[in-house]
């Protein structure tokens, strides 16, 4: 009986716990309340890498059209 309980406990630890921190990353760097598709952005290609891992044409598009609040200069790797 102890063996069965130990196995059940072990399985519940392995399968019962989930690490959702990876799923939260895009939510932490994108603020959907900032999205303004009416905001004019220049048609300039000056790539930025959003914290969500997506390359945007420029910082204006990343921030205004996609709500990305953190980005780095240059395309994503």
Q: What is the pLDDT of residues 48-76, one digit of tens each?
A: 999 999 999 999 999 999 999 999 999 99
Q: What does pTM read for this prediction?
A: 0.63
At residue 28, the pLDDT reads 83
Residue 38 tokens read as: 């009416």
């Amino acid at each position: 009986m102890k063996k069965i309980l130990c196995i059940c406990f072990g399985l519940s630890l392995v399968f019962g716990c989930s690490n959702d921190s990876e799923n939260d990353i895009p939510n932490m760097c994108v603020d959907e309340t900032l999205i303004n598709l009416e905001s004019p952005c220049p048609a300039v290609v000056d790539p930025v890498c959003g914290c969500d891992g997506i390359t945007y044409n420029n910082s204006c598009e990343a921030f205004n059209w996609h709500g990305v609040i953190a980005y780095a200069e240059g395309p994503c790797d």
